[in-house]
Structure 1
Amino acid sequence: MPGIIGVRSPSSLSFGKRVHVLLGPDAGFPETHPLVEWKTDVALVDARTIPPELRRQADLRLPEEERAEFEVYLWEMAEQNAEFMPNTRELEALDLDQLARLTSLDAQTRHFLESHGLAYWLAGYTRQSDTLWVHREGGAAPFKAWVSLRDAVREDAAPGAPGWLSPETWSDLWRVRWADRVLRALSGGEVTEAALLLAHAHKGRQQLLPDDIAQDAAEVAARMAEGADEVELPLHGPARRVRLPGFTMTVWEVSPRDLKPGESAPSHETHVPAEDAWVLVNDPG
């Protein structure tokens, strides 16, 4: 599989309304609280990189481990009661979690990782100042970075919007893709917008289930990965590939809200690479 396909509806998008499809390790997770509405952050870690013994001490279980335990429980219950009807929703939710690379952390687990010199990510957004942040906490190379949607960027030289896409649609697509592209650029590809949304859903103890349409679209995802310029999406119709140019942005090394009046924050520039997205051809939005 080249990745998980996800069609995002206008009601769940942040910063714009342009429905689009992506290929990526975290694409396709249901959005329950758009990032643009946030005033919070989430802590994330790739639990599979932590030694098993430390995972056990931290009570940090992989989805596949939870699934194995739950399947044993279901088998034991069925052995005791022939009329036992298992609830498969939890298994389906664990199937979805297995597709995620990052696991959300509570305060106690974060403290455990820090005390053992292990790194994790802290990422979030606040609508009050349109600021997004990514911090690498603990470990050998911690850092903190803040980026504002209000700051100007320098776009790479590129052909621009294709002729079939209006300037308004092009601008909206750029804004919709902003947060995910910035998160990946700041974290070396580790943190994505979809990972934040899934972690936030877990924080609220919401149970997410796989989408049948997303599963049906696996063949379309393979065509996209092979470089198809246009694909037919289930329920949505044709989607055409567009190339979003890269850009250079200012990254602040201190939170803007911690600055005193007239004080300037240390900063540096980071480049966000160009990327492909597939946009609905007949999108009325």
Structure 2
Amino acid sequence: MRPFRLVDGSRLAVPGVIGLREAWSLSFGQMEHVLLGPDAGFPEFQPVDEWKNEVALVDARALPPEVRKEAGIRTPEEERAELEAFCAEAAAFDWPRSMEERRLEDLRVLERARLTPLDDRARGVLTAHGYAYWLAGFTRHSDILWVHRIGGTAPLAAWTSIWLETRRTPDVEGPPEWLASEKYSELWRTRWTDRVLRELSDGAVTEAGLLFARVREAVFHLAEDDLARAGTEAAARMAANADEVMIPLHGPARRVRLPPFILKVYERSPFEARATPGELIPLREMLVPGEDTWVLVKDLR
């Protein structure tokens, strides 16, 4: 698959490969960092900590075609095949097709997204047929983040907050010598949402993936150029655990190890429990594993 990037201001964004997460799109902290992986490099909209709603998501490609059809879900691959057939017919008659070609470009981005957002109709169809989907949301007035797996053989429900008591594991090391402690703490807060979403959903839901679900119908401007190829090469070096890598458009970035921590999770909805004064909500503890993340050297000064 040829590498391409979003022409998105001065931000490197190679969908499904690598992307800089800018301060305006981040939740709880404002430390810009470079994200790798299948949810990196997509457009983002409204940080999670400004939300007061939820989004339902599913891996549409894993659903049987007949279920997708009943639910009104069309994969980007299906839509592209239909559109390419139309464009071939239009070319034979010399019809103008600029809008269709623009849509084909958009579908190139959508094809790289793992999860598809669901409307109420689709959710009802999946539930009726016993297929699971994810539901994730946040309300800024309550500071509660939730992740549920609806339906299927192993439903799950969890609510938590960055303000709930958390603690580091006993073997935690401090920040590296070259990173100030306040920037290290800011990076920890910045990465909290994504790390918790991934742990609560067995890796299915990420912060970047959730934000992209809000803007899937945007118009994307793409480029296949040396920057896209250099970004892909930088991602490969980062995945191979290089300590410092040159990021196109942004300069050098360094790897930082963020420690594991213990998170407290509500086992029942805290919103419902508030209707009964004095009722205690059951809590369980969950280990969020450590991770490597990448910060720009220019932001360390």
Q: Same fold (TM over 0.5)?
A: yes
Corresponding residue of 2:6 = none
CA distance in 2, matches of 1:209, 1:116: 38
Letter in 1 for 2:264: T
**Identity score, percent:** 55
CA distance in 2, matches of 1:216, 1:93: 22
Letter in 2 for 1:268: R
Q: Is the 8 A contact 1:5 1:214 kept in 2?
A: no
Q: Does 1:181 align with 2:182?
A: no
* Paired residue total: 283
1:194 to 187, 208, 213: 208
Following TM superposition, by how much is the alpha carbon of 1:26 offset from its aligned partner in structure 2, in angstroms? 0.8
Q: Is the 8 A contact 2:44 2:211 kept in 1?
A: yes
* Aligned partner of residue 128 in structure 1, secondary structure: coil
Name stretches of at least 5 consecutive residues in structure 2 with no aligned partner. Answer: 2-15
Following TM superposition, by how much is the alpha carbon of 1:237 offset from its aligned partner in structure 2, in angstroms? 0.7
- Given the superposition, is the C-alpha separation of residues 278 and 284 from structure 1 closer, same or farther in structure 2, using an over 3 Å criterion? closer
Alignment of 1:68-87 (within 5 A): 68-81=81-94, 84-85=97-98, 87=100
1:122-143, CA deviations, whole angstroms, 9 ceiling, x for partnerless residues? 1011111211100111111112
Q: Does 1:67 align with 2:80?
A: yes
Following TM superposition, by how much is the alpha carbon of 1:59 offset from its aligned partner in structure 2, in angstroms? 2.4
The alignment yields a C-alpha RMSD, in angstroms, of 2.0
Q: Does 1:24 align with 2:40?
A: no
Decide which moves more: 143-152 or 79-88.
Answer: 79-88
Letter in 1 for 2:140: R
Corresponding residue of 1:206 = 218
Following TM superposition, by how much is the alpha carbon of 1:8 offset from its aligned partner in structure 2, in angstroms? 1.3
1:256 to 247, 266, 270: 270
Q: TM-score, normalised by structure 1?
A: 0.93
CA distance in 2, matches of 1:139, 1:82: 47
CA distance in 2, matches of 1:60, 1:151: 37
Hey, which bits of structure 1, 4+ residues long, moved more than 6 A? none
1:218 to 216, 232, 235: 232
CA distance in 1, matches of 2:257, 2:104: 38
Following TM superposition, by how much is the alpha carbon of 1:209 offset from its aligned partner in structure 2, in angstroms? 4.8
Following TM superposition, by how much is the alpha carbon of 1:69 offset from its aligned partner in structure 2, in angstroms? 1.1
Letter in 1 for 2:172: A
Q: Is the 8 A contact 2:90 2:96 kept in 1?
A: no
* Aligned partner of residue 74 in structure 2, secondary structure: coil
Name stretches of at least 5 consecutive residues in structure 1 with no aligned partner. Answer: none
Corresponding residue of 1:155 = 168
CA distance in 2, matches of 1:61, 1:244: 39
CA distance in 1, matches of 2:223, 2:31: 20
Following TM superposition, by how much is the alpha carbon of 1:184 offset from its aligned partner in structure 2, in angstroms? 0.5
Letter in 1 for 2:92: E
Following TM superposition, by how much is the alpha carbon of 1:198 offset from its aligned partner in structure 2, in angstroms? 1.1
